Amino acid sequence: MEIDVTADDVGRIKADVLAVPVFEGDPTRDPIVKQLDLALGGILGQVIREEQFTGKSSTGVQLHTHGRIAASRVHVVGLGKKTREPGAALRNGATRAARSAQSAKLGTLAAVVPSAAPDAALAARALAEGMLLGTYRFDRYLTGDRKPKTALGAARVVVVPKGKGARRVPAAVQAAVSQAQIVAQAVNAVRDLTNEPPNELNPRTFAEWVTKLAKTHKVGVTILDKAGIEKAGMKLLMAVNQGAVEEPRFIHLRYSPAKPRRKIALVGKGITFDSGGLCLKPARSMIDMKCDMSGAAVTCSTVLAAAQLGLPVEIHGIAALTENMPSGRAYRPGDVFGSLDGKTVEIINTDAEGRLVLADALAYAAKLQPDVIVDHATLTGACVVALGAQTAGVFGSDRRTAERYVRSAGTAGESMWHMPLSEELREGLKSEVADIKNIGDQFGGAISAALFLREFVGDRPWIHVDIAGPAFAEKAFGLYPKGATGFGVLTLLEFLSSGA
């Protein structure tokens, strides 16, 4: 869906719904609401009072306009209390308006930039992103009656002209909406890849998808196939792949602007299906394990978006892809393998496969000598136990970088929490026969996993984001639909845009 921008009086905007976001307070005093109320003969203010609507987040009022203004309906959307950075609230509000329009089978939606927003361009961008993210559906595999026949066809951002006759859209607002398209497309691409069934999306088809887009956007791409991975010495990625019929793939994307300020390596876990291997998961835990490649999808999609946005940093996107399957050739508990880094690893549990493929990917990233490494992985159920299904755990080699990352998440409106790398848990990873074991103590599983990863990043500053909870949702939350969410992209782009 394309989004366009219009500068016009709110009464003249043609649309099935005109969404008017308002901050908490007395909405009848909002200048845009006032203007509409006047045009509607006072019924908007009346409905707001009758419904005792005060602009609290997740609330709203809607009414039909019966031809009194150009738009057929008005939807006043509550944003909650006004803050210094209202971007996330506006994005959420636009998502709700878009969902409501889509479920009412309406065709066009226009969202008005509130006059109270501190930065019109940022607000326009948030509204555009929200509308594009809110209408996402994964319906590729539905047929006949199950295939939705209607979709929101057009969305528009409206800026109310300052002076009379100033009907030109400011260039900054136009540019912001173009950026929104790129950002939303990046999130929705992660959703598509993750929702894709695992018989369709495997390491080979994932790499084909990345290669095609990298060529389109002039991003450098190297793909290693099984022979290449073996030759490179990625013994842990090879070990996890042993039980799979599908070949593994290793992806290295490169984006570099003219004068890069910093060099960043992004790394992603790409298990296209995690059965647990010989330590087979029970059926209930296996059901959503197509989502185990979301870290790789977040990584690759973000590099492609960063290139389109022309961000001022050099970015390397690295993803290790394989299935984790049981078979007569599968790797076993007790096996010992070397790694790209050189350290040896004793396998205790074949279901702790993510940290193994990441170990090789992180060692590869560290060799590039980046200023910082950021990895994303659906790594541990323990992280979901610790933080719930809507919050990611952030681990960092140093406190300041991790805290900076969590602040970027706050600005982006994603829920992330700084977790400790508790040194006392390192003991549990000691092995008798190898340098390290692939699982640690019974408790603190998310931390043990992070401590394992730390062994492979060398001296590079590093951030690890465990997205096992929010990557795939049992029920919709905030911006995120049920199923694949694309969680992580917004924060990563915010972090990279602010110079990383």
CA 252 → CA 32, 224, 303, 313, distances in Å?
49, 8, 10, 16
Asked whether position 375 contacts ligand BES by CB under 6 A, the answer is no
Closer residue to ligand BES in complex, CB, 368/434? 434
Using DSSP bridges, classify how beta strands 462-466 and 392-396 pair: parallel, antiparallel or unpaired: antiparallel
Pick one of 181, 349, 411, 431: the residue that binds ligand BES (CB under 6 A).
349
d(CA 308, CA 313): 12
Catalytic residue among 263, 281, 454, 460: 281
Pick one of 135, 272, 380, 491: the residue that binds ligand BES (CB under 6 A).
380
Nearest distance in Å: CB 277, ligand BES: 9
Nearest distance in Å: CB 118, Zn ion: 42
Using DSSP bridges, classify how beta strands 372-377 and 392-396 pair: parallel, antiparallel or unpaired: unpaired
**Per-residue mark of binding to Zn ion, 230-269 (x: CB under 5 A):** ----------------------------------------
Pick one of 268, 445, 478, 486: the residue that binds ligand BES (CB under 6 A).
445
Only segment of 135-143, 226-234, 344-352, 398-406 that touches ligand BES (CB under 6 A): 344-352
Asked whether position 351 contacts Mn ion by CB under 5 A, the answer is yes
Asked whether position 274 contacts Mn ion by CB under 5 A, the answer is yes
Continuous H helices in 112-170:
120-134
Token digits for 70?
A: 């150009």
Only segment of 244-252, 305-313, 360-368, 378-386 that touches ligand BES (CB under 6 A): 378-386
Edge-first strand order for the sheet with 436-437 is 336-337, 345-346, 436-437
Q: Which class for 164: exposed (0-12), middle (13-18), buried (19 or more C-beta within 10 A)?
A: exposed
d(CA 292, CA 379): 8
Task: For residue 65, give the DSSP letter.
Answer: -
Asked whether position 323 contacts ligand BES by CB under 6 A, the answer is no
d(CA 246, CA 226): 10
Applying CB under 6 A, the site for ligand BES has a residue count of: 16
Catalytic annotation present for 269: no
Continuous H helices in 310-387:
354-367, 381-387
Asked whether position 292 contacts Zn ion by CB under 5 A, the answer is yes
Q: Which residue is nearest to Mn ion (CB)?
A: 351
Closer residue to ligand BES in complex, CB, 382/496? 382
Pick one of 195, 202, 275, 378: the residue that binds ligand BES (CB under 6 A).
378
Continuous H helices in 255-293:
283-286
Asked whether position 323 contacts Mn ion by CB under 5 A, the answer is no
Report what 237 binds from ligand BES, Zn ion, Mn ion, none; CB cut-off 5-8 Å by kind.
Answer: none
d(CA 314, CA 4): 31
Asked whether position 270 contacts Zn ion by CB under 5 A, the answer is no
Asked whether position 72 contacts ligand BES by CB under 6 A, the answer is no
Catalytic annotation present for 355: yes
Query: Do the Cβ atoms of 332 and 278 come closer than 8 Å?
Result: yes
Pick one of 124, 352, 409, 412: the residue that binds ligand BES (CB under 6 A).
352
* End-to-end Cα separation, the chain, in angstroms: 30
Asked whether position 274 contacts Zn ion by CB under 5 A, the answer is yes
Which residues, including other chains, have CB under 8 Å from residue 89's CB and lie 6 or more apart? 23, 57, 79, 80, 83, 413
Asked whether position 321 contacts ligand BES by CB under 6 A, the answer is no
Which residues, including other chains, have CB under 8 Å from residue 435's CB and lie 6 or more apart? 343, 344, 345
Q: Which residue is nearest to Zn ion (CB)?
A: 274
Closer residue to ligand BES in complex, CB, 92/194? 194
**b or e along 209-234 (b: 16 or more beta carbons within 10 Å of the residue's beta carbon)?**
bbbebbeebebebebbebeebeeebb
**Using CB under 5 A as the criterion, which residues of the chain lie in contact with Mn ion when the complex forms?**
274, 351
**Using CB under 6 A as the criterion, which residues of the chain lie in contact with ligand BES when the complex forms?**
274, 292, 349, 351-354, 378-382, 384, 439, 445, 468
**Using CB under 5 A as the criterion, which residues of the chain lie in contact with Zn ion when the complex forms?**
271, 274, 292, 354
Catalytic residue numbers, as ranges: 281, 355
